[in-house]
Chain A
Amino acid sequence: MANNAMEGGQAIIRCLENEGVEYIFGYSGGSVIPIFDALVTTQTKINFILTRHEQGAAHMADGYARATGKPAVVLITSGPGATNTLTGIMTAHMDSVPMIILSGQSVSWMLGKDAFQEADIFGITMPIVKHSYLLKSSNEIPRVIREAFHISTTGRPGPVLIDIPKDFSAGPCTEDLHAKMDLPGYKINSTPNKDTLLEIAEALGKSKRPLILAGHGVMISGAENALRALAEKCRIPVTNTLLGKGVFPETHKLSLGMLGMHGTAYANKAVCECDLLLNVGSRFDDRILGQPAKFCKDATIIHIDIDAAEIGKMIQPQIACVADARLALEELIKHVPILETKEWCKHLDGYKVKYPLKFKRQGSLKMQHIIDEFYKLSGGKACVTTDVGQHQMWAAQFYRTDHRLNWLSSGGAGTMGFGLPACIGAAFGRPKDLHICFVGDGGFQMTFFELATAALYKLPIKIVVLNNHYLGMVRQWQELFYEDRKSGVDLEGNPDFVKLAEAFGIKGFNLRRPGDVKRVLKNALEYNDGPCLINCEVEKTENVFPMIPAGAVIEDMLIEPPARKMEKPTGST
């Protein structure tokens, strides 16, 4: 090795420092030892967090990124270490979350020879990353890391994987650490076309019943102020997607809350009745469309998205604007007229009164009650993470979100097991804030081992296990559409979650009766010596409403439990 040369692993750490990385989440192994060694020899200030499973590492990096807007790094070994991150990478990819995955690999001369722990992770991950690299030499390290961060965090963000053969992390890197990028094919269409914006302004001017659909793109581009200014200036009601929670205050008078399969009745009715829909940064996911061909049939549809491939993918808009949401809205607002929407807003307010989100506080203990009470006790200020299932939908309904980066949920992928590690990642990123993690008893058991990580770092998180002893969301479908034939949904054999927490040195609370909700949650909130877990024994067979059965039209929304027998849904999952 040349005298002044660094080892590849050291170059990697220095490059990550240059990118401003604060946290690496990961798990060691043979092919990454040189990089782990460099964490020591470089005396870096980057914090390394040893998780208990590589999936946990990926979800932590995801949660960190969603809660801070900054990318984190996942560092894992080759073969099974790398494949264990697949669910986490796919989850981040579906929700456009920036993430850098550094995977160790066998030495380069053994590639393709079925070496010990060799997996073609470059090939395996191709459909679930924004981009990926298989290093060809140690000297590529500075350029590849620079490019990876640039690609991951700009345009429509996403995960980028770098597969690093061990001889390159161990070998000398003589290249300047501030290497130039070489990305001739990477274009970001962030600047809006002025004429298109004028066209949008004109269409808005003609609208009597306009509606804004705000998605995750608003969050990613930091367009929430521009969005609010636009909505307030023109007096346009706003509905948000699941991942758009927080881009427009859900407590705002103009907010209709979340739309879609389990969205509010008034948001979905507004979608049916509007004469203009301005979609900013949502990809018209099938959870919000009902039947695409019948969605907003009589309305003018406008779509603003930075990803040109989203235009016309599900819905063909009359006006399309490929641009960064913030730049588009900031320019648009200069041209929009003030609209006369008093009637329309009053009409929608009528729906809010007629079809509020509701539940019964009496009788058995309901998840909604717990979430609602936690919302009140925490003043709506917590950074909320959810897992996937019924509890996720109720959390979306009852924990209203007023600020960006305060709602972390696996939307596109619907990944059970996401909640706890994502919440841990968020808490690393924002250690001064209150973090609440709503998880189901099913999903919690997919990644609960990360309790060790939470306990070790005494993270300020409240883990609310909403325990209905069922895979509740699936059971709900079986009840509604399959004549209540329960199949593979009974979580018989659940452990005692409080004892489980205690085994990790985490404070546990039990909550069984509606009358105890306030007291127990208060105690949990006041507990300030690291994480605590609240096991909530809730009603086993409560169902989430409103509900638009998959594949049905929005007009067929069930606001309350149906009296008639339902057909099997035609839509996907």
Chain B
Amino acid sequence: MSNLNKSTTHTLSVYVANKPGVLARIAQLFSRRGFNIESLVVSPGIDGKFSRMTISCTGEAEGLDQIIKQLLKLIDVLHCIDHTYDQSVTKEMGLIKIEVNSSGRSEALQIAEHYGCKTVDLTPESMILQVVGNPEKIDAFEEMIAKFKIIELVRTGKVVMSRGSDIT
């Protein structure tokens, strides 16, 4: 029982025909089975008739198997691949707006530099830092920069791509 209740975060890549309602159908599958979608990235495929969705979600592993099968059953879904356990490239971008004036600015920039961030907006009282990397890196950056007051935080949610000849 305890094993069943263990939630893991899963990353699915779903390739869909770009038809009306497809996102709503997919979202329903998850919510009906008690899965929480943590992030969802939708973007057009190479051919505009198709879209790519990267979905991060939490729930029981056993339930996920059923969700993948149900996803595949949807008429507009071409394929669905679970990338949770493979070595695919995983990236996410975060924008963090911190409260900082001239006195703290150089320390903030130092931390930002360490994480390879870009400063994309600067005012006398604030700055927006852009960080790109795998989600853990963004978490770590968030933690470090939290010594400043974080005014706003926006993360894109992760996107994945398989390495080499494997398909995503």
Interface residues of A (CB under 8 A from B): 122-123, 126-127, 130-132, 134, 136, 151, 183-186, 307-309, 311-313
Contacts and interface: CB of A to CB of B under 8 A. Distances in A.
Given A132-B21, A184-B17, A185-B16, A126 B28 contact: yes
Nearest to A136: B20
Contacts of B73: 307-309
Nearest to A132: B21
A127 B28 contact: yes
Nearest to A308: B69
Contacts of B69: 308-309, 311, 313
A519 B40 CA distance: 68
B72 interface: yes
A134 B25 CA distance: 14
A163 to B, nearest CB: 10
Interface string B30-54: 0010000000000000000110000
Contacts of B66: 309, 312-313
A183 B69 CA distance: 18
A313 B67 CA distance: 10
24 contacts: A122-B21, A123-B24, A126-B24, A126-B25, A126-B28, A127-B32, A131-B75, A134-B20, A184-B17, A184-B50, A184-B78, A185-B75, A185-B76, A185-B77, A186-B75, A308-B69, A308-B73, A309-B66, A309-B69, A309-B72, A309-B73, A311-B69, A312-B65, A312-B66
Among B16, B32, B70, B73, residue most surrounded by chain A Cβ atoms (within 10 Å): B73
B74 interface: yes
Contacts of A313: 66, 69
A191 to B, nearest CB: 17
Given A126-B24, A126-B28, A134-B21, A308 B72 contact: yes
A127 B30 CA distance: 12
A185 B78 CA distance: 4
Among A136, A184, A186, A307, residue most surrounded by chain B Cβ atoms (within 10 Å): A184
A306 B50 CA distance: 26
A307 B24 CA distance: 22
A309 B24 CA distance: 20
A142 to B, nearest CB: 17
Among B50, B70, B72, B75, residue most surrounded by chain A Cβ atoms (within 10 Å): B75
Given A126-B28, A185-B76, 16 more contacts: A122-B21, A123-B24, A126-B21, A136-B20, A183-B75, A185-B74, A185-B75, A185-B78, A186-B75, A308-B72, A308-B73, A309-B66, A309-B69, A309-B73, A312-B65, A313-B66
A323 to B, nearest CB: 15
A306 to B, nearest CB: 11
Nearest to A156: B73
A7 to B, nearest CB: 23
B74 to A, nearest CB: 7
A564 to B, nearest CB: 29
A131 B65 CA distance: 21
A75 to B, nearest CB: 22
Contacts of A132: 21
Nearest to A182: B17
Nearest to A131: B75
Contacts of A309: 66, 69-70, 72-73
A311 B65 CA distance: 10
A126 B70 CA distance: 14
A123 B22 CA distance: 11
A484 to B, nearest CB: 35
Nearest to A127: B28
**Nearest 4 CB-CB pairs, A to B?**
A309-B69, A185-B78, A131-B75, A185-B77
A185 B24 contact: no
A185 B69 CA distance: 13
A291 B65 CA distance: 21
A151 B32 contact: no
A127 B28 CA distance: 7
A90 to B, nearest CB: 14
Contacts of B17: 184-185
Contacts of A185: 16-17, 74-78
A307 B21 CA distance: 22
Nearest to B25: A126
Nearest to B72: A308
A145 to B, nearest CB: 15
Contacts of B70: 309
Nearest to B20: A134
Interface string B131-165: 00000000000000000000000000000000000
Nearest to B67: A309
B57 to A, nearest CB: 17
Contacts of A123: 21, 24
Contacts of A312: 65-66
Nearest to B49: A184
Contacts of A136: 20
Contacts of B65: 312
